[in-house]
Structures are given as structure tokens and as C-alpha cells.
Amino acid sequence: MDTAVTTRSSDERIGIRRKAGAYLQLTKPRIIELLLITTIPVMFLAQGGIPDLWLVLATLVGGALSAGSAGAFNCYIDRDIDRVMRRTSRRPLVTGELTDREALVFAWVTAIVSTLWLGLLVNWVAAGLAAAGHVFYVVIYSLWLKRRTSQNIIWGGAAGCVPVLVGWSAVTGSLGWAPVILFGVVFLWTPPHYWPLSMRYRKDYQAANVPMLAVVRGRTQVGLQVVLYAWATVVCSLLLVPVAGMGILYTAVAVLSGGWFVVESHRLYSKAIRHAEGSPMRVFHASITYLTLLFVAVGIDPLLPF
């Protein structure tokens, strides 16, 4: 009798754990991590030093909830194509670990909570910017652009730039040219970050009838676009030096890591024009490392005396 009760309780705990894991997966935690990497350093830059750590924590929690809600809405909207694509076949709405209703309720609740959290514990400017980015990602990108144009990731990627503005406004209650430039950096970085991924999973997007650039254009054209946007990203990052008075550390990191990012982009393009086997995921991973290094430098530079 006791053994049966123990076994049943164990099964229930496993069920709860799997359900919790499914909700976490619904939020796309890897994307949240990348968004938060761009939020914290900007708060240090806005403060000109170390900001209030409770404010940082409140901003991160609110930002994570907002981004998680947007991810959940996206999973709900894209559940049909997720069933077709191999890359997304393990998402919880595909596996049945969550129902459509559970996902939609979770998305709405976290959206409301995130807005109230940021408004009450940070400020309403940050809350309004986060809400605007959320709506842009869900409505403009997920519902409208993604399945209609190969330019989807360019304009839809603007939502991923909003955490920069949220981080700055959380500290200052306003905006300025520095966050606008960093917004531009993330905006220009998104295509050369995502297009190599779409090259790797071209057949998936083709099967799902999603017109990513890699589906509607050849590898040479995609490679060229990656190169052009990588150069534009690096140039934009250097504008922060005179505008925000950035020091030696940021300047060196922007030049060296940016140069590496550009070189990797050129390698991808070079292989494409020679019809050789390319390594798009190498550029994809390089883009993540580049952005991480750049924003770490954004956060550390204001703390240095030179």
C-alpha cells in the first residue's frame, strides 16, 4: 500500500516537473538570455557606473517575463509550422506537453504581469517600451511579416532591439542618442545573425512555406547580404565612441571583435561564390560571441578610469 502511494507520488512529481519544463521551453529561454545580455550593460552605461542592483534585478525580471510572453505567443501562432520543421519539432505545443489553451493563457498572464511589474517597480517609460516591443514581435513579425516577405527578419528583428531602450530608460526615465545607436547595432546585427541559421535549416523553412531569404534567394545573395549587414553593424557600433565618450576598452573590443565577425561573414560569402560547402553555423555562433563581447565592453567601459 505504502509502495503504491510512493510510486504514484513520484509519477505526479515527474509530471509537474515536465509541465514546468514545458512552460519554460515555451518562453524560448535562449532568446531571453541573449536579450538580457543587451539590457544589463546598457544600465551600467546609462548610470555611468554601477546602477542600483535592485533596479537591475527588477528590470531583468520584468524583461524576462515580457520576452517569455512574446516567445509563448510566437509558439502558439507558429504551432502549425513548428510541426513541419525538424528544428522546432520538440516544442511543447508540438509534443502535446502543453495544450493550445494553456499556452495562450500563460502568454496573456505573463504579458500583463510583466507590464505591471515594470511599471510599478521600475518606471512606466520602461514598461511602455517593453510592451511596445512585445506587441511588435507578436503582431507585426509573428502574425504579419514572417509568412509574407523575405524581409521578415529585418523589420521583425526590431523587437529584439527594445531591451536596449528598456535598460537605458529604467535608469534614466528617458532616452538619448546612446541607446538609439545601440538599438541600431542590434537591429543591423539581427539579419547576419539569423540568416546563416536559415541557411542551415533552409529545407525546414521551405517545407513550412516560410519565405526566409535563404529560401527565396541563392546562397551567394544571402552571403552577400550577411557581409553587408555585418559591416554596417560594426560601423554603427563605432558611432558610440564619440557619442557616449567610450574609452579604450570598448573601442578595442568593437574593432577587434567586429573585425572577426566581418571576416567570418566574408568567409561564408567566399565559399558561396565558389560553390563550396559553407559553414553558416560558424557565422551564427560568431555573431552571438561578437554581440556578447561588445555589450560586456559597454558595461565595463564606464567603470574604468580611462
How much is the average pLDDT of 265-280?
Answer: 83
Residue 6 has pLDDT above 70, yes or no: no
**Cα dist. 18→12, 21, 96, 296 in Å?**
10, 5, 11, 34
Q: Give residue 12's pLDDT band: very low, low, confident or very high (50, 70, 90).
A: very low
**Winning range, highest mean pLDDT, from 64-78, 207-221, 269-283:** 64-78
- pLDDT value of position 11: 36
Residue 8 has pLDDT above 60, yes or no: no
Residue 14 has pLDDT above 70, yes or no: no
Residue 153, all three cell numbers: 527578419
Residue 251, all three cell numbers: 573601442
Handedness of CA 124, 125, 128, 131 (dihedral sign): negative
Cβ–Cβ < 8 Å for 228, 188: no
Q: Please list, in sequence order, all residues whose beta carbon lies within 8 angstroms of the beta carbon of residue 158, skipping any fewer than 6 positions away.
A: 133, 136, 187
Mean pLDDT of the residues in the chain: 89
Give the integer Cα–Cα distance in Å for 298 and 302.
Answer: 7
Give the integer Cα–Cα distance in Å for 278 and 226.
Answer: 13
Q: Please list, in sequence order, all residues whose beta carbon lies within 8 angstroms of the beta carbon of residue 143, skipping any fewer than 6 positions away.
A: 77
Give the integer Cα–Cα distance in Å for 237 and 261.
Answer: 13
- pLDDT value of position 2: 44
Q: Where are the beta strands (DSSP E) in the chain?
A: none
- Which domains, ranges and CATH numbers included, belong to the chain? 17-151+158-169 (1.10.357), 176-306 (1.20.120)
**Cα dist. 123→25, 174, 179 in Å?**
29, 10, 17
- pLDDT value of position 104: 94
Cβ–Cβ < 8 Å for 74, 196: no
Residue 145, all three cell numbers: 511579416
Grouping H, G, I as helix, E, B as strand and the rest as coil, residue 257 is helix
How much is the average pLDDT of 59-82?
Answer: 93
- pLDDT value of position 36: 84
User: In terms of Cα–Cα distance, which of 285, 287, 284, 267 is closest to 276?
Assistant: 267
Give the integer Cα–Cα distance in Å for 7 and 249.
Answer: 57
Residue 106, all three cell numbers: 500563460
Q: What is the pLDDT of residues 165-176, one digit of tens each?
A: 999 999 999 999
Q: Give residue 233's pLDDT band: very low, low, confident or very high (50, 70, 90).
A: very high
Cβ–Cβ < 8 Å for 258, 237: yes
Cβ–Cβ < 8 Å for 182, 164: yes
Q: Which residue has the higher pLDDT, 18 or 250?
A: 250
Judging by beta carbons within 10 Å of its beta carbon (0-12, 13-18, 19+), is residue 304 exposed, middle or buried?
exposed
**Cα dist. 289→76, 240, 295, 296 in Å?**
30, 19, 10, 11
How much is the average pLDDT of 190-199?
Answer: 89
